Amino acid sequence: MQAFVAAVLTFLVCAIGLALYLRKQRGQSTTDIAISTAFVATVSVASLGIAAFAGDLHRLLLVTVLSGVAISLTALARSFSIVPYGTPMLVLAFGAAAVVAAGAVFPATGIALFDIPFSVVAIWAFTLICREVDAAPGVLAPVAVVMLSGITLIGFGRGDHELQTLTAAGVGAALALIWWTRMGGRGAIGPGAALFIGFALLTAIAGLRGPFWVAAFPIASGLLVIPIADSATVFESRRKLKQPMFTPRADHLSHRLLAAGFSSTATVAVLVAAAGIGATASCLSAFKIIPWYVGLCIAWATKITIVTWAIKHPVPVPGAEQSPQLPATS
């Protein structure tokens, strides 16, 4: 019930807030900063408020939200050049360490001396990977709905309730962003909200109970189909072309689909469908409807298919940081 209330409340508040802002702007493009602020503020306040009201405010939820807000604020400060380059990644590392200390640990070996640093690095690295899905406006919100819905359902079905309110609130806010773009709003989610989404998702996966190799690992493999495939595509293409790995370019999955002739709506539909296949595999394996290794094979087969196609369809002209943008109708 808490998750449902969180999703509905964040959808309504975020949608109304963005609609009022858009009206005030008289149809002008809304900045990434405004979108990030609306998303992070709504999700944070709603998840903590609802959990506190229900008497279910866990330490992990509190630490995750506070760390996520700190990461988002640092990313916002970086967009104004207030803090040096790399500061958001440093704060993200501290945030990852904080949630691991609060109990979000990947029990890969059962040896704390290895599992704790492994968990910090995994949460840090995959949060950054999730951020890159926001390479073109209109992509991350629909994909985030799929990923966050998947982990919310898995948490509900497995009895892992600590971060269910947070991920459900993220679903509601992401749905509000999709509705808002269809009403004429424009702009990307922005790095602050993108980092917040990835951080919440990875922490929720790390908080799942059960053996790592038959629980968290196959679930993460399915839920992170698009972020992993996108990063693998970018890495392999830049390696082959001997391009700098960390220089922003228009060579992500969304750019390649657009360059191949897909419309903006079709581009989003393809990415959401792929994310849906991975999330479905994760849910089916989490609920033991299919063996965990079958779900894992489905997830990795989806990734390999996407990357293989993407590598064969490069963007004709290497872009700079300002990449081809998806229209608001996506």
Token pair belonging to 309:
């196609």
**Is the C-alpha dihedral spanning 62, 72, 207, 43 positive or negative?**
positive
d(CA 149, CA 189): 18
The pTM of the full predicted model, rounded to 2 decimals, is: 0.89
Q: Which residues contact 45 (CB under 8 A, 6 or more apart)?
A: none
Question: Which one-letter amino acid corresponds to residue 74?
Answer: T
Token pair belonging to 246:
């960390």
d(CA 281, CA 147): 12
d(CA 278, CA 222): 4
Q: What residue segments make up the domains of the chain, in order of their start?
A: 2-311
Q: Which residues contact 229 (CB under 8 A, 6 or more apart)?
A: 253, 274, 302, 303, 306, 307, 310
Query: What is the chain's pLDDT, residue by residue, as a tens digit (330 residues)?
Result: 788 899 999 999 988 887 777 666 554 555 677 788 889 999 999 999 998 988 888 899 999 999 999 999 999 888 888 999 889 999 999 999 999 999 999 998 889 999 999 999 999 999 999 988 887 777 889 999 999 999 999 988 887 777 889 999 999 999 998 887 776 666 567 888 999 999 999 999 998 887 888 888 999 999 999 999 999 999 998 888 888 887 778 889 999 998 899 988 899 999 999 999 999 999 999 999 999 999 999 999 999 999 999 999 888 754 444 444 444 433
3-state percent helix, strand, coil for the chain, nearest multiple of 5: 70, 0, 30
